[in-house]
């Protein structure tokens, strides 16, 4: 069996295609899987059905060869597959197809890393991936990609980190619920969608993400009064403003001014001190808002955030932050 030294342990069942290699099966029990860009000097161009799923795919119709991924530290002839142990999969930039049910029942899968080269994602690729929450996508602005296919397979909240050559955007796609309502004895069903997430998923047209449409969907969040999600969306767009228009920027700033407590609590909950510093730089907290934020940080026991807020509160009064004085009770 050929071996590839890498960062994880896995056995790959592969088959050669006209211009590259398809990985039909990845057997592993590691939490992080980084699939190789090349095998036998050929690019890895496709991932098969049930790639990492609990169910074993039928590979009998293929001319299969095995490749062992190994760190070099522990090598054995066998490796037990545990789909439920997989938490993150990094898909190489050479891949253009992800098979159906590729990660079926990978209950712990939290994140995928994909590139713009992926043109097709099979049905049910993320079925029962109940922990899934993050997509790292490498694609330039205006470049076609598979984001719509991935988002269309989950109704939960998904964070998307969009990596471009010279910029980065961080986006939230909120959750939504979809139900079929029986309207009567004739069993005519009406589709009912609740939540803002569906509108956000419509901002991708022909495989291309429109920042204009994404920012336009913000109105829906405000209309249903989901201020926690709205503040998180606003903070990310303002901190990583790829494709952000001046008009959309003002809408996001207005949201933070109107709901400062939600914004501060969001950052404190995630212990995001750099985010809190960014929020202060936007100038959306007045003196009363800063005072309330200090109280909140104090209640949550977050001393670093509290120090940052106290300094901002002092600056708002037109004076420099006072020197800390130490006192001792003997």
What domain count does the chain have? Answer: 1
pLDDT digits (tens, 9 = 90+) for 9-31: 999 999 999 899 999 999 999 99
Structural domain that includes position 15: 1-132
- Residue 158 counted as domain residue: no
| pLDDT on residue 320 | 46
Give the mean pLDDT of 137-144.
93
- Residue 82 counted as domain residue: yes
pLDDT digits (tens, 9 = 90+) for 38-76: 999 999 999 999 999 999 999 999 999 999 999 887 655
pLDDT top residue among 327 and 147: 147
Give the mean pLDDT of 73-95.
87
Contacts for 80 with CB less than 8 Å, ≥ 6 apart: 27, 29
Give the mean pLDDT of 182-210.
80
Asked if residue 242 lies in contact with residue 167, where contact means CB atoms within 8 angstroms, the answer is yes
Task: Round the average pLDDT of the chain to a whole number and report it.
Answer: 90
Of the candidates 180, 165, 172, the residue with the CA atom closest to the CA atom of residue 151: 172
- Residue 215 counted as domain residue: no
- Residue 8 counted as domain residue: yes
Give the mean pLDDT of 228-252.
96
- Residue 232 counted as domain residue: no
pLDDT digits (tens, 9 = 90+) for 245-273: 999 999 999 999 999 999 999 999 999 99
- Residue 105 counted as domain residue: yes
Instruction: Identify the CATH number of the domain in which residue 34 sits.
Output: 3.80.10.10
- Residue 12 counted as domain residue: yes
- Residue 311 counted as domain residue: no
């Amino acid at each position: 069996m050929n071996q590839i030294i890498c960062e994880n342990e896995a056995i790959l069942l592969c088959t050669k295609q006209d211009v590259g290699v398809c990985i039909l099966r990845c057997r592993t029990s590691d939490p992080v899987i980084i699939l190789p860009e090349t095998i036998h000097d050929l690019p890895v161009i496709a991932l098969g059905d049930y790639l990492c799923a609990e169910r074993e795919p039928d590979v009998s119709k293929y001319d299969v060869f095995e490749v062992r991924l190994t760190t070099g530290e522990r090598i054995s002839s066998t490796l037990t597959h545990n789909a439920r142990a997989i938490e993150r999969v990094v898909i190489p930039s050479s891949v253009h197809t992800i098979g159906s049910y590729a990660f079926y029942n990978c209950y712990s899968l939290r994140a995928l890393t994909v590139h713009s080269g992926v043109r097709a994602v099979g049905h049910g690729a993320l079925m029962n991936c109940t922990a899934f929450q993050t997509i790292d996508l490498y694609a330039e602005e205006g470049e076609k990609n598979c984001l719509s296919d991935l988002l269309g397979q989950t109704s939960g909240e998904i964070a998307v980190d969009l990596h471009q050559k010279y910029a980065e955007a961080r986006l939230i796609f909120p959750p939504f619920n979809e139900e079929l309502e029986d309207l009567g004895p004739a069993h005519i069903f009406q589709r009912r969608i609740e939540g803002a997430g569906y509108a956000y998923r419509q901002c991708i047209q022909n495989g291309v993400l429109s920042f204009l449409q994404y920012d336009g969907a913000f109105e829906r969040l405000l209309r249903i009064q989901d201020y926690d999600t709205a503040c998180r969306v606003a903070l990310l767009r303002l901190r990583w403003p790829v494709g952000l228009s001046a008009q959309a920027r003002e809408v996001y700033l207005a949201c933070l001014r109107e709901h400062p407590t939600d914004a501060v609590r969001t950052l404190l909950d995630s212990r995001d001190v750099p985010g809190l510093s960014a929020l202060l730089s936007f100038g959306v907290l007045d003196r009363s808002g800063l005072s309330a934020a200090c109280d909140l940080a104090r209640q949550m026991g977050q001393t670093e955030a509290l120090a940052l807020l106290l300094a901002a509160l002092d600056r708002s009064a037109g004076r420099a932050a006072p020197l800390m004085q130490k006192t001792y009770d003997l």
